[in-house]
Amino acid sequence: MSFYPAGQFPAHRPRRLRQSPALRQLVRETQLNTRQLVLPLFARSGRRLRRPIAAMPGVFQLSTDELLREAARAHESGVPAVILFGIPDRKDARASGAYAARGVVQQAVRLLKRELPELLVITDVCMCEYTSHGHCGIVRNGDVDNDATLELLAKEALSHARAGADMVAPSDMMDGRIGYIRQALDQNGYAGLPIMSYAAKYASAFYGPFREAAESTPQFGDRRSYQMDPANRREAMREVALDVEEGADIVMVKPALAYLDIIAEVKQVFDLPVAAYNVSGEYAMVKAAADRGWIDGDRVMLEMLTAMRRAGADLIVTYFAKDAAKLLQK
Ligand code: PBG
C-alpha cells in the first residue's frame, strides 16, 4: 500500500537541496560571520595578570596589558568589537570607580584605542561591579533608587566617552536611563556616540558565572525589582519601545538562548539593529558538557549562535567570539 497513487512519486522532495555541502551552503538562509560578534573582556588593575574564572574556561580577569593582548588576538581573528567590564580595586556605596577618570575601564579604553584604533571598543555602563553592595545603582531603604542612579550612570557613560569609547551600553535597567544618558552625551559634545541599550534584560539565573567574573553578586536581595520577569513577553516590547523613543541606536535582548522568541519579536516590530547577549551561563553549560565529552562543544556553539542569528540578532555578544572566529575562518 502506498500513500501515493501507483507510479506517482511525490512532487516535493526537500532532500534534493541537501545533497552536498555546496548545495546546502547555496540555499542556507542564515549566515553566521565573525564580523557580527562582540567579545566581552574583564579589566582590572595590575600587570601581567590573568585570573581564570572557574565557571568560564578560557575567560579571565585581565590587567590592561593582558587585556590588550587578548583584544589584539581577537581582532586579528576577525572579531570587530569588544565590550569592557571593570573590576575596581575598591568598591563603595556610590560606585566611585565607575566614573573615575582613571578608573580601570577608562584606562583600558585609552590603551585599546591608542594601540588598536580600528577595534570597536564598547563599554558596559552599570554600577554593579563598583558598588559595595553589588546592586546596579544607589540603594535607599533597601531598594535601588531609580532617579538618583541616573545621574551616576550619565557620569559613567560620559567618562567612557571622554576616554574614547566607540559606543556605550547601559545594562542597569533603570527607567529613563537611555534618555538621560543621551542628553548628557549630547550636551557634552558626544552627540555622535551611539548607545546600545540592554533594552529587554531579564532577571536571569544564567548570569551566575558572570557575577564571579565581575565580582558583582548582590550582597542582599536580588535584581528582580529592576530586571524583567522571565515570564513576560509583552513587557519586553514596551521596554524596547521606551528605549527606542529615548534614543537607543541598537537594542539588546539578554539572555539569548532561552529568549529567542523575544529576539524574533523585537526584530519584527522594530527597525533598529538587534543585539543578543549569549550570556555567561549559556557559555558555561556548553563548556562543562563538552569537557565531559557529553556534547560536541564546537558544533553546539555554532548551532546556538546560528539560532540567535536565525531568530533575528544582527550582532551577538559572546564569550565564544574567539572560538567561533577560529572555526568560521576555515
Ligand atoms: C551588569 C551586567 C550583567 C551581565 C552583563 N552586564 C550581570 C547582571 O545583571 O547581574 C551579565 C552577563 C553574563 O551573564 O554574561 N549589570
pLDDT at position 32 over 90: yes
Q: What is the mean pLDDT of residues 120-142?
A: 93
141 CA → ligand 1 middle, Å: 24
Task: Tell me the DSSP string of 83-120.
Answer: EEEEE-S--BTT-HHHH-TT-HHHHHHHHHHHH-TTSE
Q: Which long-range contacts (CB under 8 A, 24 or more apart) does 298-304 make?
A: 298/323, 298/327, 301/327, 302/32, 302/327, 302/328, 304/256, 304/257, 304/278
* Any atom of ligand 1 within 6 Å of the Cβ of 319: no
The residue nearest atom 5 of ligand 1, judged by CA position, is 171
Separation CA 248–CA 179 (nearest Å): 8
- Check residue 251 and give its pLDDT: 98
- Would the pLDDT of 2 be above 70? no
**What is the pLDDT of the chain when averaged over all its residues?**
96
Mean pLDDT of 195-205: 98
Report whether residue 105 contacts ligand 1, using a CB cutoff of 6 Å. no
Q: Is the pLDDT of residue 218 over 70?
A: yes
Per-residue pLDDT tens over the stretch 56-99:
999 999 999 999 999 999 999 999 999 999 999 999 999 999 99
Q: Residue 157 and residue 81: Cα distance in Å, rounded?
A: 18
Res. 1: pLDDT tops 70: no
